Amino acid sequence: MGDPHGVGIIGLGVISGTYLETLTSHPGIRIVAVADLDHERATAVAAGIAGCRALSVAELLADPEVATVLNLTIPAAHAEIARAAVAAGKNVYGEKPLTAAFADGVDLLAHRGEAWVGAAPDTVLGTGVQTARAVVDSGAIGRPLSAVATWVAPGHELWHPQPDFYYRAGGGPLLDMGPYYVTSLVHLLGPVVSVVGASSRPRTVRTIGSGPRAGEEIPVEVDTHVTGVLAHADGALSTVTFSFDAVATGASPIEVHGELGSVSVPDPNMFDGEVRVSALGTPGWTPIAARAGYADAARGIGLIDFVRGHGRADGALGLHVLEIMTELLAAAADGTRHHLTTTVERPDLVPLKPATEWRTP
Of the chain, the percentage scoring pLDDT greater than 90 comes to 95
User: Nearest-CA neighbor of 339 among 186, 191, 194?
Assistant: 194
132 with 243, same domain: the answer is yes
Same domain, 45 and 157: no
| β-sheet bridge partners, residue 278 | 262
203-240 pLDDT per residue, tens: 999 999 999 999 999 999 999 999 999 999 999 999 99
Rounded Cα gap, residues 168 and 162, in angstroms: 12
b/e code 162-174 from CB counts within 10 Å (16+ = b): ebbbbbeebbbbb
Three-class SS of residue 128?
helix
pLDDT of amino acid 169: 84
Are 65 and 9 part of one and the same domain?
A: yes
pTM score, two decimals?
Answer: 0.95
Domain assignment of residue 231, yes or no: yes
Candidates 237, 239, 285; CA nearest to 261 is 285
Asked if residue 218 and residue 70 are part of one domain, the reply reads: no
* Residue 353 lies inside a defined structural domain of this protein: no
| Residues 153-193: tens digit of each pLDDT | 999 999 999 899 899 988 899 999 999 999 999 999 999 99
Is residue 254 included in any domain, yes or no? yes
- 323-334 core/surface letters (b: 16 or more CB in 10 A; e: else): bbbbbbbebbee
Residue 341 pLDDT level (bands cut at 50, 70, 90):
very high
Give me the pLDDT at residue 151, please.
Answer: 97
What are the backbone dihedrals phi and psi of residue 150, each rounded to the nearest 5 degrees, phi first? Answer: -135, 125
pLDDT of residue 170: 83
In a domain, 355, yes or no: no
CA distance 300 to 126: 11
Does 354 reside within a domain?
no
**Same domain flag for 222 and 320:** yes
Query: Residue 66 has what pLDDT?
Result: 98
Judge contact between 347 and 312, C-beta under 8 A.
yes
Where does the pLDDT of residue 1 fall: very low under 50, low under 70, confident under 90, or very high at 90 and above? very low
Return phi, psi of residue 53, to 5°. -120, 145
Do both 152 and 102 map to the same domain? Answer: no
pLDDT digits (tens, 9 = 90+) for 135-156: 999 999 999 999 999 999 999 9
- Look at residues 92, 119, 146 and tell me which one is the last residue of a structural domain: 119
- Vertex 309 angle, CA 185 and 32, to 5°: 105
Residues 102 and 155 in one domain: no
270 belongs to a structural domain: yes
CB 81 within 8 A of CB 58: no
Q: Are residues 83 and 134 in the same domain?
A: no
In the predicted model, is pLDDT for residue 127 greater than 70?
A: yes
Does residue 87 belong to any structural domain of this protein? yes
DSSP string of 83-104, one letter each residue? HHHHHTT-EEEEPSSS-SSHHH
CATH of the domain at 131: 3.30.360.10
- Number of folded domains that form the chain: 2
- Listed residues 77, 97, 119: the one ending a domain: 119
Domain boundary, last residue among 95, 119, 143: 119
- Average confidence score pLDDT of the chain: 96
Residues 6+ apart with CB under 8 A from 206: 155, 157, 163, 167, 217, 218, 220
Q: Note down the domain range covering 21.
A: 5-119
Give pLDDT, residue 65. 98
The predicted pLDDT at position 338 comes to 98
* CATH number for the domain harbouring residue 18: 3.40.50.720
- The mean per-residue pLDDT over the stretch 300-319 comes to 97
Greatest CA span in the chain, whole angstroms?
A: 63
Does the pLDDT of residue 243 top 60, yes or no? Answer: yes
For the chain, the 3-state helix, strand and coil shares in percent, each to the nearest 5, are: 30, 25, 45
What is the per-residue DSSP string for 170-201? T-SHHHHHHHHHHHHHHHHH--EEEEEEEEE-
Is 242 among the domain residues?
yes
Which pLDDT score is estimated for 165? Answer: 86
Pair 169, 225 in one domain: yes
Look at residues 126, 96, 83 and name the one whose alpha carbon lies nearest to residue 293.
126
Same domain assignment for residues 201 and 133: yes
pLDDT-derived band at 361, boundaries 50, 70, 90: confident
Say yes or no: 168 and 42 in one domain. no
Same domain, 158 and 194: yes
